[in-house]
C-alpha cells in the first residue's frame, strides 16, 4: 500500500499565503517555515480592509508561530507593501497571518492572551520562550480592545471605594456595578477629580439612570457624586462606619489604660482585639474580656454600642432606622471622650446617607471582596508598574461574561 506524502500545509490554514519551503534544526527543536503571499488574491490594506493598488516593494519578516509539539516555529514571511488609495499612503498588506509591527502570528497572540487569564505574564513568557514585555504588550492590546472604553450602559446602582496599590498612601478609585459585580472603572488617586473623571464620560441620560451610590464617608467622593448625579441617593455602608468606630474603641481603651492604677493595668493588656471582636471562641479570652468589662464601665458601654451599631442598618423603614440612630447617639453622648463625641457628630451630619440604606440596601462589602481578589491579582504579578494594564486586568477578572 503506497504511503501518503506528509504535508504541513494543513497546519497553516491561512487563505492569503502558501508554504514555500521548510527546514528543521538537527535537534528538532526549531522549525523554519517559508511563507509567501498567494498570488491568486489581490493584496488588501491592513488598515481599511479594501483592495490596494500597486505593489511598492517586498520585504521578509521573521514571525513566531505556535509551537509544533516541542519545537518552536518561526515563519519567514514574505509580504508586500502596497499603495492604498483609500488611506492615501503605503501600507502593509493584510495576509490574515500577523498584525503589522508585531513579531508573532495572530493565533499565537490569541493563545498568549488566553493563557494570561490563568497564568502570570512571567509564566506565559517562560512557556513560549518569549520576553515578558512582549507577552504583556500582547495581552494589553487584547484588553484595550475589550475593556479600553468604559461601558456605562445599564448602570443604576454603583459602589465606590479606594484600594491601596503601593506603599506610601497611593490609591486607585474603583467603581463597580452593584447589580452585576462588574468593575466599571478604575482611576489613579482618591480625590474629587479622580471620581469626576469617571462621571465626565457619562451622557446626561446615563447620569439620570443612576439611582444610588454606596460609599464610605470620604468627603471628596461625596462632593463628586453630589455634583455629577445630584438626583442619585448617597448610601453610607455599615462596613466603613464599623471600621471607624473600632478606632474610637481603641482610643477609649488607651485613655482608660493610662488612667488605671498599676494593679489593674495588666487586665487592659492584650485586650485591644478582644474589644473589637464580636465572637470570641477561646474560653480564656472570653474570661479576660469579662474581667475587663466588670472593671471598667466605660469600656462596657463601648462594647454595647459596638454591638448595637449594625442594627441601625438592619431596619427597612426610615422611621425605625431614624429612631435607632437617635437612640444610639444618645447613649454614646453619655461617654465623655472627644473621639466618641466626634464620631456621634459624624453620624448625625451624614444622617440622610445612613437612612438611605432603607430605600437602597446596597453597600460596599461586595467591593471589599473585590478588593481582596485585586490584592491577589497584584501579588501574583509581584505588583503592577503599569497602572493602565493593572486596571484592564481587574476589569477582565470581574467581567461577568468572561469565562476565566
pLDDT of residue 375 exceeding 80, the answer is: no
pLDDT the model gives residue 404: 54
How is residue 397 written as a grid cell?
477578572
pLDDT of residue 163 exceeding 90, the answer is: no
Average pLDDT over residues 236-262: 88
DSSP 98: B
Average pLDDT over residues 136-164: 92
> Count H helices, E strands: the chain?
16, 10
pLDDT the model gives residue 3: 39
Q: Which residue has the cell 470620604?
A: 218
pLDDT the model gives residue 97: 87
Stretch among 64-78, 106-120, 169-183, 278-292 having the lowest mean pLDDT: 278-292
Q: Which among 17, 57, 61, 10 has a CA at the least distance from the CA of 41?
A: 17
pLDDT of residue 208 exceeding 70, the answer is: yes
Stretch among 318-322, 325-329, 378-382 having the lowest mean pLDDT: 378-382
**CATH homologous superfamily of domain 157-233+364-397?**
Ribonuclease H-like superfamily/Ribonuclease H (3.30.420.10)
pLDDT the model gives residue 380: 65
pLDDT of residue 1 exceeding 80, the answer is: no
pLDDT of residue 200 exceeding 90, the answer is: yes
Rounded percentage of the chain residues whose pLDDT exceeds 70? 94
Mean of the per-residue pLDDT values for the chain? Answer: 87
pLDDT the model gives residue 270: 77
How is residue 314 written as a grid cell?
438592619
How is residue 73 written as a grid cell?
516555529
152 falls in which pLDDT band (50, 70, 90)? very high
pLDDT the model gives residue 378: 74
If one compares 309 and 385, the residue with the highest pLDDT of the two is 309
pLDDT the model gives residue 4: 43
Stretch among 1-10, 30-39, 76-85 having the lowest mean pLDDT: 1-10
pLDDT of residue 290 exceeding 90, the answer is: no
Q: Which among 198, 189, 183, 215 has a CA at the least distance from the CA of 374?
A: 183
pLDDT of residue 62 exceeding 70, the answer is: yes
What pTM value is reported for the model? Answer: 0.80
Stretch among 90-94, 205-209, 326-330 having the lowest mean pLDDT: 90-94
Residues of 315-324 as b/e, b for ≥16 C-beta within 10 angstroms? beeeeebbeb
pLDDT of residue 403 exceeding 60, the answer is: no
- Listing DSSP states for 306-329 in one string gives HHHGGGGGG-SSHHHHHHHHHHHH
If one compares 216 and 3, the residue with the highest pLDDT of the two is 216
pLDDT of residue 359 exceeding 90, the answer is: yes
Average pLDDT over residues 104-128: 92
pLDDT of residue 80 exceeding 80, the answer is: yes
pLDDT of residue 382 exceeding 60, the answer is: no
What strands lie across the sheet with 212-215, from one edge to the other? 183-188, 170-177, 157-166, 212-215, 233-236
pLDDT the model gives residue 167: 67
If one compares 35 and 225, the residue with the highest pLDDT of the two is 225
Average pLDDT over residues 153-182: 87
Sorted by where each begins, the domain ranges of the chain are: 1-101, 157-233+364-397, 238-358
Average pLDDT over residues 153-174: 85
Stretch among 28-37, 278-287, 332-341 having the lowest mean pLDDT: 278-287
366: Cβ contacts below 8 Å, ≥ 6 apart: 159, 176, 178, 181
Q: Which contiguous run of DSSP H or E holds residue 279?
A: none
Amino acid at each position: 500500500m503506497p504511503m501518503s506524502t506528509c504535508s504541513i500545509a494543513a497546519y497553516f490554514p491561512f487563505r492569503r499565503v502558501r508554504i514555500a519551503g521548510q527546514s528543521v534544526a538537527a535537534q528538532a527543536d526549531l522549525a523554519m517555515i517559508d511563507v509567501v503571499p498567494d498570488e491568486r488574491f489581490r493584496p488588501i490594506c491592513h488598515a481599511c480592509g479594501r483592495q490596494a493598488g500597486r505593489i511598492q516593494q517586498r520585504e521578509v519578516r521573521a514571525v513566531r508561530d505556535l509551537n509544533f509539539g516541542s519545537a518552536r516555529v518561526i515563519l519567514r514571511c514574505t509580504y508586500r507593501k502596497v499603495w492604498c488609495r483609500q488611506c492615501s499612503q503605503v501600507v502593509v498588506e493584510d495576509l490574515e497571518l500577523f498584525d503589522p509591527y508585531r513579531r508573532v502570528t495572530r493565533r499565537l497572540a490569541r493563545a498568549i492572551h488566553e493563557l494570561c487569564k490563568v497564568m502570570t505574564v512571567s509564566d506565559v513568557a517562560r512557556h513560549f520562550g518569549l520576553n515578558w514585555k512582549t507577552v504583556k504588550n500582547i495581552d494589553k492590546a487584547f484588553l484595550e480592545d475589550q475593556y479600553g472604553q468604559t461601558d456605562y450602559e445599564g448602570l443604576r446602582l454603583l459602589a465606590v471605594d479606594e484600594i491601596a496599590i503601593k506603599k506610601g498612601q497611593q490609591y486607585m478609585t474603583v467603581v463597580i456595578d452593584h447589580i452585576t459585580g462588574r468593575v466599571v472603572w478604575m482611576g489613579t488617586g482618591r480625590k474629587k477629580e479622580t471620581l469626576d473623571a469617571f462621571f465626565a464620560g457619562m451622557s446626561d441620560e446615563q447620569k439620570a439612570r443612576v439611582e444610588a451610590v454606596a460609599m464610605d464617608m470620604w468627603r471628596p467622593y461625596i462632593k463628586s457624586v453630589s455634583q455629577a448625579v445630584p438626583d442619585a441617593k448617597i448610601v453610607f455602608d455599615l462596613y466603613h462606619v464599623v471600621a471607624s468606630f473600632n478606632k474610637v474603641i481603641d482610643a477609649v481603651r488607651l485613655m482608660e489604660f493610662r488612667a488605671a492604677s498599676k494593679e489593674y493595668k495588666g487586665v487592659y493588656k492584650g485586650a485591644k482585639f478582644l474589644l473589637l471582636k464580636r465572637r470570641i471562641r477561646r474560653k480564656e479570652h472570653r474570661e479576660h474580656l469579662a474581667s475587663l468589662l466588670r472593671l471598667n464601665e466605660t469600656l462596657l458601654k463601648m462594647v454595647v454600642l459596638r454591638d448595637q451599631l449594625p442594627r441601625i442598618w438592619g431596619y427597612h423603614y426610615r422611621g425605625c432606622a431614624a429612631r435607632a440612630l437617635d437612640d444610639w447617639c444618645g447613649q454614646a453622648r453619655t461617654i465623655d471622650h472627644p473621639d466618641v463625641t466626634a464620631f456621634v457628630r459624624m453620624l448625625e451630619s451624614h444622617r440622610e446617607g445612613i437612612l438611605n440604606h432603607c430605600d437602597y440596601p446596597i453597600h460596599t462589602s461586595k467591593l471589599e471582596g473585590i478588593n481582596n481578589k485585586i490584592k491577589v491579582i497584584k501579588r501574583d504579578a509581584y505588583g503592577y508598574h503599569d497602572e493602565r494594564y493593572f486596571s484592564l486586568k481587574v476589569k477582565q477578572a470581574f467581567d461577568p461574561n468572561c469565562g476565566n
